Structure 1
Amino acid sequence: MDRDEPKSLQPTWTFFRQWLKNPLGTAAISPSSRQLARQMMAELPRGARRVIELGGGTGVFTQALLDHGIARQDLLVLELNEELHQHLQRHFPQVEVVCADARDLRELAAARGFGPEAPADAVISGLGLLSMPKATQQAILGAAFDVMQPQGRFVQFTYGPANPVAREVLEALDLISRRGSFTWWNVPPATVYTYTRRMSKALAPRSMR
């Protein structure tokens, strides 16, 4: 992109360029909307302090988490795409951003202070779970719940009305899913889902700001 291009267009162009390179590996043609980000933040557990983000993309959710009050040192972001990873590092230099596969979250989180003594309160996901094999879904969600406290919450968005996590995966991990808000103001329109352990007490979503 030319340096004279408005900064507001840079994330969109960065994201679109990755979609052109790998349409199947990039779930959308543009970054998530701010409305979707607000809806994702509304699903965080009350008082959430330590958060892990999977699939940081261009940083829409990363910025929303910081604006929500999550301290930079209490946020860990994973992004598998190297160009998007570098984009995140440039825009969020004080946040721990790792270029890695979400299936390796257990080891990555433990090495960065999210071990049993200081687990995450929530995991925010921008990954395209709907298009992933069941085994990959199970590996990612299993790792996510292993690095969260017992009442931790996994917050995921998906395109369309269907639950992005297979029923077999939910049963294998003993998870409960709840369909949250839906927004037309995203490209494509998106639905938010939350997942908790069956043993935990259901948590009401936070009211939207």
Structure 2
Amino acid sequence: MAEPQNRSGADTKGAADWLRFLATWARDPKKMGAVASSSRAYCAMMVRHASIGVDGPILELGPGLGVVTRALLEAGVDPARITSIEYDPTFAETLKTRFPRVNVVWGDGFDLDATLKDGGETRFAAILFAIPILQMKQAERQALFSSYVRRLRPGGNITQLSYAPTAPVKAVPGLFEPSSSPLVWANIPPARVWIYTPTGPAAGH
């Protein structure tokens, strides 16, 4: 009897999360970017392509209610390595409750210096990005991701959840170039993970 009860509890939790996500999207669609959180298969694909094997801290931007966070933990990442920056205060509080060993920060993932208060010194093994940016101009996106690349450790990369059919952020010569995962059909809508790999001098930092 225990197994069906556990499944029911997970289903109830998932339904509650979906309703909370939908309500937040209804208040501010541009901030959320999607009407439902990403599927576990999609988040697992993101983690598979993220450079989590590089030593050092991992930065998660836009964790929502923690689907990617859970995928990181299921992949064996030590929660003490993860810093998750969430803009929505209620989501941030939920994340702190669900993942007490993860460093959850309520703040702006677009301004890491102000949010992390580290003077720009922290270098990350991987950055996992799930904040909508299609409303931004391409030059602004490139500038943003250039700033993230400068915070990567050697061998690190940026992975992005986005429903865009082409790379949301175009290459910056000598700094990074995009590629993509296979299409994940088990997601609404089907989508790819975009991977941004440092190039040229930036690859060695």
Length-normalised TM-score, structure 2: 0.82
**CA contact 2:51–2:156 (8 Å) conserved in 1:** yes
Count of aligned residue pairs for this structure pair:
192
Moved more, 95-104 or 132-141: 132-141
Secondary structure of the structure 1 residue equivalent to 2:183: strand
What stretches of structure 2 of length at least 5 have no aligned partner? 1-10
Query: Residue 187 of structure 1 aligns to a residue in which SS?
Result: coil
Measured on the aligned residues, the alpha-carbon RMSD in Å equals 2.5
Distance in 2 (CA, whole Å) between partners of 1:110 and 1:148 is 17
| 1:142 corresponding residue in structure 2 | 146
Is contact 1:16-1:30 (8 Å) kept?
Answer: yes
Q: Deviations over 1:127-150 (max 9, x none)?
A: 112232335423431332222113
User: What displacement does 1:8 show?
Assistant: 2.6
Partner residue, 1:199? 200
2:77 matched residue in structure 1? 70
Deviation at 1:172, TM superposition (A): 6.6
For 2:190, the equivalent position in structure 1 comes to: 189
Residues 119-138 of structure 1 aligned to structure 2 (within 5 Å): 119-138=123-142
Gap regions ≥5 residues in structure 1: 203-209
**Match for residue 12 of structure 1 among 15, 18, 22:** 18
Correspondence list, 1:1-209, <5 A: 6-45=12-51, 47-49=53-55, 50-109=57-116, 111=118, 115-116=121-122, 119-165=123-169, 167=170, 170-171=171-172, 174-199=175-200
Q: Structure 1 runs of 4+ off > 4 angstroms?
A: none
Cα distance change, pair 71–155 in 1 and its aligned pair in 2 (3 A): same
Other structure's SS at 1:28 match: coil
